[in-house]
Structure 1
Amino acid sequence: MASLQGRIALVTGASRGIGYFTALELARQGAHVIAVARTTGGLEELDDAIQAEGGSATLVPLDLTDMPAIDQLGGAINERWGKLDILVANAAMLGVISPVGHIEAKVFEKVMAVNVTATWRLIRSVEPLLIKSDAGRAVILSSGVAHSARAFWGAYAASKAAVETLARVWAAEVNKTALKVNSIDPGATRTAMRAQAMPGENPETVKHPSEVATRLVPLLSPDCTETGKLFRIADNRFFDYQLPE
């Protein structure tokens, strides 16, 4: 993997789980991490961990339902660094495990706001900065349920199918630039969201989010040239999407 020394990386949902460990791994590899999350305490813990590794971070307490704040984030990054090298759009919420017809409207709408609309707004805010990079890299976190359409996972599954398609469209649009965009399916991972979805599961039976981070970070290196694809952690490789004739 090429060095990430001095590269600027934005990670959402960075206060815990996959986002936390991805941010930490990016800092270990030399990137300066812009860590975004709602939870200030979690961000401060991340900052302590990054500093202990000799890295650096900028903490951004931000609720991703605050769409104007996402717009302002791109402007602030531009003023300070003039570009962005890496985007990890990780933040998401599960909502509820429920039949589609039983999901409350406010729950469905919030899942879509956090998982889909905020991701689009983030892309819109930072795309010009990623284009300015000599090797911009973006990864959108997806899920296997985007493809399996598992019963009772309707809101979350639909949101992940939406952001995968968004990532594919974005990759096609920037194909003639240095920016590469991919989705990643982390598979079963020991996170708070997983515990919410599978309350009876022994967390020791699924992989730690640090394992996802070590597989994810190489996809953000300048020497990773795949784009418009899905990387599945379980298979440790990229998959092409079936395209129409």
Structure 2
Amino acid sequence: MSTDKRLDGRVAVVTGASRGIGYATALALAKAGAHVVATGRTQGGLEELDDAIKSAGGSATLAPFDIADFDAIDRLGAALYQRFGKLDALVANAGMLGSLTPLGHIEPKDWDKLVAVNLTANWRLIRSLDPLLRASGAGRAVFLTSSAVHKDRAYWGGYAVTKAGVEALARSYAAETAANTAVRVMLVNPGPLRTAMRAKAMPGEDPATLKTPADLAPKIVALCAPDWSETGRLYDFPSDRVLGFNPPS
């Protein structure tokens, strides 16, 4: 297990933790000393994560639910308040690609699901968990976005629109918490990584040419640490740079 215990005694929620970026981030947070509250739809994936965290000497609480179950998000906030009275870090990772198709061809039910998972759920997380983040001495919120927001790529409209909403949501939340609170809010663009979502979007791509979620995870851990001071900005993993309000080039 890592000797870096910068998050010792801290509580972190990771959504979409049953695989991919969420899984790797939850494991890295636990190795850094955080107690991880891992949410996700796949019970088996969460149990595998729990085994990995325990093998590394860490601790976790599993909260299996669909991120579009908004009542479950409210119950999560209530349970965290009752057990811990605070939340030190939120990694809002859960998301879906949706259909890569012309905007006019997206079925209304599919559009509604995409907005619910990628955007509304993140607002509901803020609504439920903001008081707990404010109760921390150094609350940190990290939202996953995508370069698709700024590339104007045909057929990616549903995904790009919802991720653009996430960026506006996170930056608004950062502006609201910048003064008189210890909450700091960051966006992360992971770029192309070896994930199931990437394989679905780019089926002809050789995954061996891509970095992995485990490569990104330590960077997210750093954004969750008490010594991270910037807010309302975007960490771009492909360039390893923190950017301001202008989109990545």
TMscore range, shorter length: over 0.9
Which residue number corresponds to residue 181 of structure 1? 185
- Equivalences, count: 243
What amino acid maps onto 2:34 in structure 1?
A
* 1:96 Cα deviation from its structure 2 partner: 0.7
What amino acid maps onto 1:223 in structure 2?
D
* 1:69 Cα deviation from its structure 2 partner: 1.0
CA contact (8 A) 2:234 2:242 kept: yes
Which residue number corresponds to residue 34 of structure 1? 37
Equivalent residue for 1:93, pick from 90, 96, 105: 96
SS in 1 for 2:18: coil
* 1:2 Cα deviation from its structure 2 partner: 7.6
* 1:242 Cα deviation from its structure 2 partner: 4.4
Which residue number corresponds to residue 55 of structure 1? 58
Tell me the TM-score normalised to structure 2 length: 0.96
Structure 2: distance between partners of 1:242 and 1:208: 26
* 1:19 Cα deviation from its structure 2 partner: 0.2
Structure 2: distance between partners of 1:200 and 1:232: 24
SS in 2 for 1:187: coil
Going from structure 1 to structure 2, the CA distance change for 1:164 and 1:2 (only over 3 Å counts) comes to farther
Equivalent residue for 2:152, pick from 117, 128, 149: 149
Which residue number corresponds to residue 212 of structure 1? 216
Structure 1: distance between partners of 2:227 and 2:216: 19
What amino acid maps onto 1:33 in structure 2?
V
Structure 2: distance between partners of 1:205 and 1:96: 24
* 1:204 Cα deviation from its structure 2 partner: 0.7
Which residue number corresponds to residue 17 of structure 1? 20
Which residue number corresponds to residue 194 of structure 2? 190
SS in 2 for 1:223: coil
Q: Is structure 2 residue 243 aligned with structure 1 residue 239?
A: yes
SS in 2 for 1:60: strand
CA contact (8 A) 1:2 1:223 kept: no
Going from structure 1 to structure 2, the CA distance change for 1:2 and 1:241 (only over 3 Å counts) comes to farther
Which residue number corresponds to residue 111 of structure 1? 114
Going from structure 1 to structure 2, the CA distance change for 1:63 and 1:156 (only over 3 Å counts) comes to same
**Share of identical aligned residues, percent?**
58
CA contact (8 A) 2:141 2:186 kept: yes
Extract unaligned runs of 5+ from structure 2: none
Which residue number corresponds to residue 5 of structure 1? 8
Structure 2: distance between partners of 1:56 and 1:42: 16
Tell me the TM-score normalised to structure 1 length: 0.97
Which residue number corresponds to residue 161 of structure 2? 158
Structure 2: distance between partners of 1:238 and 1:142: 14
Structure 2: distance between partners of 1:151 and 1:213: 30
* 1:150 Cα deviation from its structure 2 partner: 1.3
SS in 1 for 2:223: helix
Going from structure 1 to structure 2, the CA distance change for 1:14 and 1:5 (only over 3 Å counts) comes to same
Query: More deviation in 55-64 or 197-206?
Result: 197-206
Q: Is structure 2 residue 62 aligned with structure 1 residue 84?
A: no
* Runs (4+) off by over 2 Å: none
Which residue number corresponds to residue 74 of structure 2? 71
* 1:149 Cα deviation from its structure 2 partner: 2.0
SS in 1 for 2:60: strand
Extract unaligned runs of 5+ from structure 1: none
Structure 1: distance between partners of 2:169 and 2:231: 13
